[in-house]
Amino acid sequence: MDEPRIIVALDFDRASHALDLAAKLDPSLCRLKVGKELFTTAGPQLVETFMRSGFDVFLDLKFHDIPNTVSKACRAVSSMGVWMTNVHALGGKKMLQAARDALPISGNTKLIAVTLLTSMDHEDLRDIGLQGEPEQIVERLAKLTKNCRLDGIVCSALEATNLRNKIGNDFCLVTPGIRPADDGNTDDQKRVTTPFQAINNGADYLVIGRPITQAKDPLFALQQINQEITQASQEK
Ligand code: C5P
């Protein structure tokens, strides 16, 4: 099996639930994403536990602050040795460069950026004074992220084709909003993509939460989605 392309989003409010789920999964089939809620309640210790069990961890804390503060936060992440972490591209060039300096390309931690939050619509963008269509802003922030030598971005799989064309292959696209074709439930996600389509559109890693975490058999759900990914990769 190739390297795991699925990152399971552990959106739980307590460590025990996240540990129960992880115990059902296999580190050769997926990576794990720990976000603000779980990290705030369970801390670095839980991340270390996952890593000791063989899982790569994406620490999804989306840092956004002055360059000095983000640099120090990234240095703290660096000492944890996680596989991937992220910052907000809206923090600007100096902040992105400070984050990259603290987590150098030669290190073990991939550093990616969030461009625009997908929860923001036209009105939200206007409220904060951002001009232009969301797609244009995403593209501009993606290019800024690449110029600051970060490893990639989080984006919708629906934007992946265009971004891949504009930014090239040497840039990691991490895409949430994934729902298997036979999953009638999109939960609160508005613009969803199947795993097959996401890979076809050029995504490198798929962030998937509820289709796996809420499945009756999470390992089986993971295996099914991996099969779809393998098929899409072979047909590409
Ligand atoms: O359960 P579901 O598959 O919808 O979970 C998706 C995960 O990806 C969640 O952790 C969510 O916060 C995250 N995410 C997202 N959309 C973004 C960025 C992150 O759904 N634009």
Full DSSP string of 123-156: HHHHHTT--S-HHHHHHHHHHHHHHTT-SEEE--
**Position of tokens 């090239």?**
168
Domain count, the chain: 1
User: How much is the pLDDT for 129?
Assistant: 93
* Whether pLDDT at 1 is above 80: no
Domain assignment present for residue 38? The answer is: yes
Q: Which pLDDT tens digit goes with each residue over 137-193?
A: 999 999 999 999 999 999 999 999 999 999 999 999 999 999 998 777 888 877 789
Within-domain flag for 1? no
Q: What is the CATH number of the domain that holds 105?
A: 3.20.20.70
- Does any domain span residue 96? yes
pLDDT at 61 over 90: yes
Task: Give residue 86 CA to ligand 1 midpoint distance, Å.
Answer: 14
Q: What is the pLDDT of residue 30?
A: 98
Mean pLDDT on 201-228:
97
Determine, yes or no, domain membership for 39: yes
Range of the domain at 68: 6-235
Q: Which residues does the annotation mark as catalytic?
A: 62
Domain presence at residue 213: yes
Cα separation, 220 vs 206, in Å, equals 17
Angle of CA points 140, 170, 32, to nearest 5°:
90
182 or 97, which is more confident? Answer: 97
At residue 157, the pLDDT reads 94
User: Which among 6, 11, 60, 61 is the best mutation to test ligand 1's pocket, defined by most ligand atoms within 8 Å of the CB?
Assistant: 11
Does the structure show a pLDDT above 90 at 122?
no
- As a whole number, mean pLDDT of residues 122-131 equals 91
**121 compared with 39, residue with greater pLDDT:** 39
Q: What is the mean pLDDT of residues 217-222?
A: 98
CA dihedral 132, 137, 138, 140 (to 10 degrees): 140
Closest by alpha carbon to 156, among 101, 109, 100, 118? 118
Residue 32 φ then ψ, to 5°: -120, 140
Domain for residue 128, yes or no? yes
Ligand 1 — pocket residues by CB below 6 A?
A: 9, 11, 35, 118, 154, 176-177, 187, 189, 207-210
Nearest atom (ligand 1) to Cα of 117: 21
State pTM to two decimals: 0.96
Calculate how far, in angstroms, residue 233's C-alpha sits from the geometric centre of ligand 1: 23
Average pLDDT value for residue range 8-34 = 98
Does the structure show a pLDDT above 80 at 198? yes
* Confidence check: pLDDT of 231 > 70: yes
Mean pLDDT, rounded, of the chain: 95
pLDDT in the model for residue 183: 77
